[in-house]
Amino acid sequence: MIPYGRHELRPEDHQAVLEVLESGWLTGGPAVQAFEHDLAAVCSAPRVVSCSNGTTALHLVAEAIDAPPGAWWICTPSTFVASIQAGIYSGYRPVFVDADPETGLICLDSLAGLLEAARDHEAVVAAVVAVDLNGHCVPINDLADLLDVYAVPIVRDAAHSLGAVDTDGVAVGGNDRVLATALSFHPVKLIAAAEGGALVGHDDEFMDRIKHLRSHAMTREPGTPSDYRVDAVGYNYRLSDLHAALGRSQLARIEEKLEKRRTLAAAYQEELGDVADLRLVIPAEGTLSAWHLMSVLVDPERRWALIAALRDAGIGAAHHYPAAHLQPVYEGFLPGLAGTCPGAEAYCSSQITLPLFEQLTLEEVKRVTQTLKNLL
């Protein structure tokens, strides 16, 4: 079976973890600081705070924003549910904004209508979560121009897009118009640290608050090493040195990893670009995608049958993601959501994920695409 994704571990990754095991620092040590330093360089940003995973990264942002209970946490449904649930953890109200049916990315016209509705109802908007689905960049500066009018912050969910570049040539994480950018280092991500996450930011005061909340909101008292003061409800969201070392080892070859993915994505586009009954999900012109996922859109009536047939042929096709606003958990917050985000529903009902990872060969891409063509 060719999986849809697979992490790669090299001898230098094993060595990096072994060095931590022999160092005496399993957590809270120099490997974490070194990983944060290198991530900041990759993202062209002054501050990085690592944490235990991508979900806790988003939760830390929601907590640090400190909006009142019931404030709106606006997000597209075409995402993994963590993008929404992180705001719920902090007492915010999930509000769904529609997505472009061809890309799954946030629809600015739909968002403008929501922001006007919030103003009319005197609702506080805690943040808009901008999700870089598939590794493709949201129109971040157009989004920032819109949100500047309403004084609403952007939280960028870049779990898919570390290494991507926006239309202005700025790396994801490097735009200081974004309050914070959340990253994930889950095994299927570009940087696979087993588990892990990070927040990238430019506002020192905000990033200091995130760092404080990450470790129980605990401050050591000077002159009394075993004493400490806790001034808020914090969390045990630290990243271990083991995970940091593994992540840093892979980060050192991020350009190689990105180049391989972009080469494979170009091969998919060459093979499938003119196939009837299929549409490629591609990045916006002028951006450089991280190509986390290779997504195609098909007839919704045939989607599950095609996935099953591909899997029967030894190709690990998958689906990312079910439309979040239709999950039963959200009925308690906002009943009757079916049909409220038609663009997102169209995207999510027709999306198929094809294999894409660094060890995939061009011959395997040919096998995947030929099998799919035969099925169509």
pLDDT digits (tens, 9 = 90+) for 17-76: 999 999 989 998 999 999 999 999 999 999 999 999 999 999 999 999 999 999 999 999
SS (H, E, C) 143-212: HHHHHHHHCCCEEEECCCCCCCECCCCCECCCCCCCCEEEEECCCCCCCCCCCCEEEEECCHHHHHHHHH
Tokens representing 254 are 């991020």
Q: Give the range of the structural domain holding residue 258, as residue numbers without chain letter.
A: 254-375
pLDDT above 80: residue 320: yes
CA distance 183 to 173: 9
pLDDT above 90: residue 291: yes
**Quick check: pTM over 0.75?**
yes
Tell me, what's the pLDDT at 335? 67
Residue 140 counted as domain residue: yes
- Percentage of the chain modeled with pLDDT above 70: 99
Residue 2 counted as domain residue: no
Residues 201 and 265 in one domain: no
Confidence bin at 326 (pLDDT 50/70/90): very high
Domain final residue pick, 213, 232, 251? 251
Residues 293 and 313 in one domain: yes
Q: What mean pLDDT is predicted for residues 84-100? A: 97
Whether 47 and 207 have beta carbons less than 8 Å apart is answered as yes
Residues 153 and 102 in one domain: yes
Residue 319 counted as domain residue: yes
Residues in the chain: 376
- Percentage of the chain modeled with pLDDT above 90: 92
Domain final residue pick, 251, 272, 307? 251
CA distance 227 to 28: 17
Residue 3 counted as domain residue: no
pLDDT above 90: residue 171: yes
